[in-house]
Amino acid sequence: MEKCVIAAALIVLALAPLLVNAEALKSPDFYARIDVLVTTEEIVEIDFGAKSDVLLVSATTLPGFTLERFVAVFEGGAPKGIVPVVYDKRSENMGVLASLVSYTGEIKLSSNGYNGTCKVRLITVQRKTSWQAIRGDITLDTSEYRGAGFDNVVVRVTIDNYAPYIVKDVLDQQGNSLFSVEFQKTVEASAVKFDLKHVELKVSKLGFGKYTVKLQRNEAFALPGAMLVIEDSYTEYTVAPKSTKALTLKNKLDWKPLGWIIVAYSVAPGPMREPQVKIEGDIVDLAAERRDQIDVRGASLLIPPFLLHYWIEAYTVYGATVKITNLGRDDIRIIAVPVYYREVGVWTPRGLEVSVSSRDLGDAYAAFIVVQVPSLARITSLTLPSGQVLERLGNYTSGWGSEWRSIVVEEHEAAVQVKNGAQVEEGTYFFSIEWPTLLVKPVDSKRRPVIGAEVVVEGPVKITAVSEADGAARVKPYAPGVYTVAINYRGAKVGEATLATLTGSELLIPCSLYDLQVNVKTALSSPVSGAVVSVESQGGFKQELETDDSGKVVFTQLPGGTYTVRAEYKGVSAQQTVNLNADASVDLNLWILFELPLIGPVTAATAAAAGAVTAVVAGAAFSRRRREVAEIDIG
């Protein structure tokens, strides 16, 4: 019974490293980033008549949160003469400073001849980030913020573009769909925002509690990190009362369908009535809405007042087909914009290079380069084909010939308009990107660092590095995508992992590396010190060590596999084959009986052979003596 227990224990020990590795490979490849954003606002009036420099400071950071951004918004634009001195990004609208962003919590303004006052809206956004392994749907629990006194709390879910998942729906605690257009119309448009890879819920408006983000998996759902997105010329339609209009994206050579921008609006006599339009598609997001009632009245009642109302609803629809139904009694006008995309660009260690030509854009009315990088990467600047470098820029709108141009550069995504109507800028666009350094740390079965291991990171690009004295290999996966990480050591692949979502700066990889203790003994089980012990793998790796006073030697961090273990001492040797899949200890017996000066070790085999020779010699001598005695007796 005791032998069975010991055998079982040995089996478990032998399998333990394999189970660790298997668990590492089975762990979820993809993660969703969950951000809880708490926003506070205040409006201040700055008087530049009293002082020429003004320092604006963000609100105090909440426990457990970090500062996402501190924004100063100039209502109607900043007066001329106000100069931003300390900030991280600025936004401009038609040449007028609109806002400033700081990631440190301080914005400093200076006056260049302006001595008046201006109102500034200060917005502090604080963030708490967590990562949730995608093993199905995603659960969001915001109950802890109930009663905390926060007026603006948003939960943001982000999935990497290249992940084979899309967001299909969000359910509240009662199981109601937040994606249904009927529900979206009951709350403000900013309360629920979503696309294929992102969700934003203003839970301070929707209610604190649990939400379920429904996901769907398919390899076809992976999107590129850099796309050329085109909007074809818009088409206007009239949808009569109680009728339906269905639209389907046409096939476009070398382009993939993304969806539609649908704007529905109505102007009709009478008091304000609820919009009676129904938009259906794969995923439909009510992005914006406006409505108002107007009383048209002259200087007198000579022409009696005329009452009318209008409403506008703008939707983003993902998928090739959209259906618009007019449920009301007035005509509805529709503006429909087809949207297509295709992958573009070359990723480099410095960023992304995208070349654009008019031929690429075809008959598109508007076109944008859209870049979305993983959460730990950061877009720092944009260089236009003209050579103009847009650095520390957030949102930028400017005149562009007879048209206008919009550019948005945020930390993790950017959209650059390359065409608007007749205006187009051909050439090469370069996005400077700071890629995170990943420390790959291979460890052996005892969790000790492995120094000198080759680390091969292969996916959209291939990177090779070697683990340094601290046990870490430093790599920068500079193209979004899924990577395999292989650890090669002493002629064998000893570890492997899949890297899909980069959630931190370190990756620990358990490796099939074990210690082998060899005990060299005599025939009487005494230790043999000074013996040379070698191990040689089937792959050709070989190592030699010398036994200590206790007759043992320890080979550390040997790759799992089959080894020939050989011990040699003054011409006497022994060997055996060892299958190594866990830390192990083996005995090698040289069968040495004793050691003689000038002669060396005498083994049992040598002694036996010597004994046989002695017996033969003695027997021959005894026989000869008998013959001599017999001859004498006869004589």
- High-pLDDT (> 70) share of the chain, %: 91
Q: Is the backbone of residue 599 left (phi > 0), alpha (psi -120 to 50) or beta?
A: alpha
The band of 6, judged by pLDDT with boundaries at 50, 70 and 90, is very low
Helix or strand or coil: residue 598? Answer: coil
From the list 126, 76, 74, 68, the residue with the least C-alpha distance to 100 is 74
Q: Locate the DSSP E strands across 423-541.
A: 423-424, 427-434, 438-443, 454-458, 462-466, 473-475, 483-489, 492-499, 506-510, 513-521, 532-537
Contacts of 104 (CB under 8 A, 6+ apart): 67, 70, 88
| Statement: residue 269 has pLDDT above 90 | yes
| Statement: residue 112 has pLDDT above 60 | yes
Domain boundaries, the chain: 29-215, 223-339, 343-432, 436-508, 512-594
Mean pLDDT of all residues in 12-40: 61
Helix or strand or coil: residue 24? Answer: helix
- Average of per-residue pLDDT values in the chain: 90
DSSP secondary structure letters along 109-125: EEESS--SEEEEEEEEE
> What is the number of other CB atoms lying within 10 angstroms of the CB of residue 599?
10
Query: pLDDT value at position 630?
Result: 40
The pLDDT tens digits for 418-450 are: 999 999 999 999 999 999 999 999 999 999 999
Nearest-angstrom CA–CA distance, 340 and 284: 16
| Statement: residue 619 has pLDDT above 90 | no
Nearest-angstrom CA–CA distance, 141 and 173: 10
The pLDDT tens digits for 303-347 are: 999 999 999 999 999 999 999 999 999 999 999 999 999 999 999
Query: pLDDT value at position 50?
Result: 77
Helix or strand or coil: residue 227? Answer: strand
Contacts of 456 (CB under 8 A, 6+ apart): 462, 463, 464, 485, 486, 488
Query: pLDDT value at position 627?
Result: 43
- High-pLDDT (> 90) share of the chain, %: 82
| Residue type at 480 in one-letter notation | P
Query: pLDDT value at position 624?
Result: 43
Do 436-508 and 512-594 agree at the fold level?
yes
How many CA atoms, within 13 angstroms, populate the side-chain half-sphere of residue 261?
14
> What is the number of other CB atoms lying within 10 angstroms of the CB of residue 495?
26
| Statement: residue 570 has pLDDT above 50 | yes
* Cβ atoms of 507 and 438 closer than 8 Å: yes
Query: pLDDT value at position 52?
Result: 84
| Statement: residue 536 has pLDDT above 70 | yes
Bridge partners, 317 (sequence order) = 260, 284
436-508 in CATH: which number?
2.60.40.1120
| Statement: residue 632 has pLDDT above 90 | no
Phi, psi of 276 (to 5 degrees): -115, 60
Query: pLDDT value at position 590?
Result: 92
Mean pLDDT of all residues in 576-604: 87
The pLDDT tens digits for 132-172 are: 999 999 999 999 999 988 999 999 999 999 999 999 999 99
| Residue type at 426 in one-letter notation | E
The band of 607, judged by pLDDT with boundaries at 50, 70 and 90, is low
> What is the number of other CB atoms lying within 10 angstroms of the CB of residue 10?
12
| Statement: residue 4 has pLDDT above 70 | no
* Cβ atoms of 369 and 343 closer than 8 Å: no
| Statement: residue 10 has pLDDT above 60 | no
Nearest-angstrom CA–CA distance, 312 and 296: 19
Query: pLDDT value at position 609?
Result: 56
Q: Which CATH superfamily is domain 512-594 in?
A: Carboxypeptidase-like, regulatory domain (2.60.40.1120)
**Cα distances (angstroms) measured from residue 504 to each of 484, 543, 571:** 16, 37, 55
33-42, 222-231, 392-401: lowest mean pLDDT where? 392-401
DSSP assignment, residue 241?
T
